[in-house]
Structure 1
Amino acid sequence: MSDNDDYESDMVDRIIKSDTILNKIRTLLPSSIYSIDFTKIISFATSSSINLVLPFINGFMLGMGELFAHEISWRYHWFNHNNAGYKIFPVSRKYAGINAGREEKSATQNKAAQFI
């Protein structure tokens, strides 16, 4: 016998053993499991994907479109930039941060000047 024949007979033996194991498992399980049709599982999976995945994609596309439209309108000056809708934070807080940075810079320069 060749190696190929040994391999084939070994595979047949394995299939028969696995088939007997599956038959034993089937006798232990209730018969209601086998009444489930495969098409029902596929239809449930498709309806779930439509209800769970598509809203996520829809929200993602709406968000990206909103960001894109905002960038285009900002670059081409379609609206007044003094509009309150463009203000992300109060102007006073913006200038307070800039002034604080200048004060820190001048304080470090004064300390450096003392050592020279």
Structure 2
Amino acid sequence: MGDSHGILLIGHGTRDQRGTDEFFELGDRLASYLAGRSIVQPCLLEFQSPTIDEGWRRLLDAGAERITVSPLLLFAAGHAKSDIPDAVEAVARQTNTLDRIAGYSRPISRQSHMVDLVRERLIESI
């Protein structure tokens, strides 16, 4: 691939090991699904490693020429609007790679599939 694409998959981070394991399992599944098309690098905003800084640098080391920042967050609150873009911009400036930011994916929010899944979980709990 001449123009290698990376995905910086950003989770919030948690002190709960099960939640952390599930996030990295999702990253592994996405990496398998996108193999040959994109390099997927999971990282965490808070509490654990790899951090956003470490994840960005790993994508550069893997040869990513363009990087899509993909916060795996439910809503566009402070983390998605400022904390994550600020952290990405800081490491991109430090590594002189601002031009590699391909864009940001939107939060999951109220997408119809998400609403359907929430409805199913609510019915299961009744």
Identify whether the pair has TM-score above 0.5, normalized to the shorter chain: no
Higher helix share: 1
TM-score for the superposition, normalised by structure 2: 0.20
Greater share of strand:
2
Larger Rg: 1
Higher relative contact order (CA 8 A, sep 6+): 2
